[in-house]
Structure 1
Amino acid sequence: MLLDAIWRNDWSEARAILRDVGVPLPKAAQLSMQAGHNMAELMGALNTTTH
């Protein structure tokens, strides 16, 4: 639900979801950026092992 709201650019809903689960928006942004970084590293590692 949270990612759907973000992808739809519905920040009111995203903030409401974060508020309901007790996660501040800056923390959610930090976690999202870290997840993206981790995924990029994983994809890079997979790319080097498959080629």
Structure 2
Amino acid sequence: MPLSMLINQLGTIVVYGKLATGFIPSVLISVLLVIFLVYSLRKNTKTSVSNTSLT
């Protein structure tokens, strides 16, 4: 969903030459989502490695 928001915003910039309503919130949501995903993947990887070390 955040990717579709960004595509919509970029299309508005290209067609109308100005920022669409909600451009900044869509960028912030996308950045926060990426940060959360990276954090989750790193946390999951560390947990997985520590679990396999014990066995």
Q: TM-score, normalised by structure 1?
A: 0.60
Give unmatched runs, 5+ long, in structure 2: 13-19, 50-55
Asked which structure has the greater RCO (Cα within 8 Å, sep 6+), the reply is 2
Root mean square deviation of aligned Cα: 2.7
Rg comparison, structure with higher value = 2
Runs of 4+ in structure 1 off by over 6 angstroms are none
- State, as a whole percentage, how many aligned pairs show the same letter: 10
- Kindly provide the CA deviation profile for residues 9-50 of structure 1, in whole angstroms up to 9, marking residues without a partner as x: x8216xxxxx6xxx6010000000000000011001100011
Q: How many residues align?
A: 39
TM-score (norm 2): 0.56
